[in-house]
Amino acid sequence: MRLATALALVPAVLLASCIGRRGPPTAAGYPEATSLLGAPLYAVERPRERRQELEADLATAYAAYERDPDNADAIIWLGRRVAYLGRYRDALGIFSEGIRKHPEDPRMYRHRGHRWITVREFDRAVQDLEQAARLLRSRPDEVEPDGAPNVRNEPRSTLHWNVWYHLGLAHYLRGEFSQAQYSFRNALAVSQNDDARVTASDWMYMTLRRMGREEEAAAVLGPIREGMDVIENRSYYRRLLMYKGVISPDSLLALPTQGAGEAAALQYGVGNWHLYNGRVDQAEEIFWRVTSAEDWAPFGYIAAEADLRRMLNRRRN
């Protein structure tokens, strides 16, 4: 089942293709986003076998939605499955429907906030994720099911963690490092396993270094050790080991990676390490390398874009 066929299952009222789109489509279709450097970004074609898996998952998600269109879980999974196929604007429309139907459900704002980050609309991301954080005050934490299960089929994140983590990312990408460190500190406080801890610690460390708070950043590295039980977020774990001096930056760049997200994360971490150590030229070279990849959705790619834009703006001024 091709992407167009899979999406044809979903009623047009759910697919908000008009959200954020301007002008007629090009030969490549509508852009999903505009990069922070001004280029249109289109949905990336998945490898054939992977695309078929994602389309089958989407068909299942839509069948569940069709049986009960007011069910919050069905709406969330429909939006998630559409987003995994690179149709982020359509996913935003589905999560928006979820918010209309379930305005007190923080999960809707958490997922829509995540996808506002993907399409580079950080102000909207902050608004949604702050609303999710407000709604969480009266809601216990819960494990968040994985869209792509790990090798142990063991979910590693929770709702509270995801809200604080993504809010921290949105602030970081806007260059609001004080607000970012507050959010990452909250994410660290609700971390329930080593995958969550290393991810929150990594972004916390980078944020504190950007703020010039080197002693606090060094303290973040204290609990990080070799042999931690990290299943999913190996790139963040390896970046932390690099900050501690266990792994060299060059060897980190030479490591084999699985997928665009891991490659972007490793490269961005090394570029960022060069940047706050005063090696701006090396950092910029790596950031351009990150943003030359085909898949523009990973957070490392978006962060590299944000830093390049700041560099270019300073140069112009």
177-217 residue pLDDT tens: 999 999 999 999 999 999 999 999 999 999 999 999 999 99
d(CA 135, CA 129): 10
pLDDT at 162 exceeding the cut of 90: yes
pLDDT for residue 307: 97
Average pLDDT of span 288-308: 97
d(CA 17, CA 14): 9
Q: Where does the chain show beta strands of DSSP type E?
A: 33-34, 40-41
d(CA 253, CA 55): 33
Retrieve residue 100's tokens.
């209309």
pLDDT for residue 5: 45
Average pLDDT of span 290-301: 96
Topology (CATH) of 127-147+155-230:
1.25.40
The rounded percent of the chain whose pLDDT value lies above 70 is: 91
Confirm if 275 and 241 have CB atoms less than 8 A apart.
Answer: no
* Closest by CA position to 269, among listed 225, 226, 239: 239
Average pLDDT of span 128-151: 92
pLDDT for residue 152: 87
Same fold, 1-103 and 127-147+155-230: yes
Average pLDDT of span 140-155: 88
Retrieve residue 298's tokens.
């990973």
Confidence of residue 255 (pLDDT cuts 50, 70, 90): confident
Q: Specify the amino acid at residue 14.
A: L
Residues counted in the chain: 317
Average pLDDT of span 150-171: 94
104-132 residue pLDDT tens: 999 999 999 999 999 999 999 999 999 99
pLDDT for residue 8: 55
pLDDT at 4 exceeding the cut of 70: no
Alpha carbon of 216 to those of 55, 74, 185, 206: distances in Å?
45, 42, 12, 11
Over the Cα atoms of the chain, what is R_g? 19
Retrieve residue 1's tokens.
């089942």
Does the predicted model carry a pTM greater than 0.85? yes
Place of tokens 């270019």: 312
What is the distance of C-alpha 198 from the center of its chain? 15
Q: What are the structural domain ranges in the chain? A: 1-103, 127-147+155-230, 248-317
Q: Which contiguous run of DSSP H or E holds residue 294?
A: none
d(CA 56, CA 36): 33
Confidence of residue 7 (pLDDT cuts 50, 70, 90): low
d(CA 300, CA 306): 10
Retrieve residue 184's tokens.
């990452």
Retrieve residue 101's tokens.
């139907």
End-to-end CA, the chain: 50
Retrieve residue 23's tokens.
């002008």
Topology (CATH) of 1-103:
1.25.40
210-246 residue pLDDT tens: 999 999 999 999 999 999 999 999 999 999 999 999 9
Confirm if 10 and 78 have CB atoms less than 8 A apart.
Answer: yes
Confidence of residue 149 (pLDDT cuts 50, 70, 90): confident
59-83 residue pLDDT tens: 999 999 999 999 999 999 999 999 9
Confidence of residue 138 (pLDDT cuts 50, 70, 90): confident
Average pLDDT of span 28-53: 91
Retrieve residue 283's tokens.
């950092």
Q: What is the mean pLDDT of the chain?
A: 91
d(CA 203, CA 50): 30
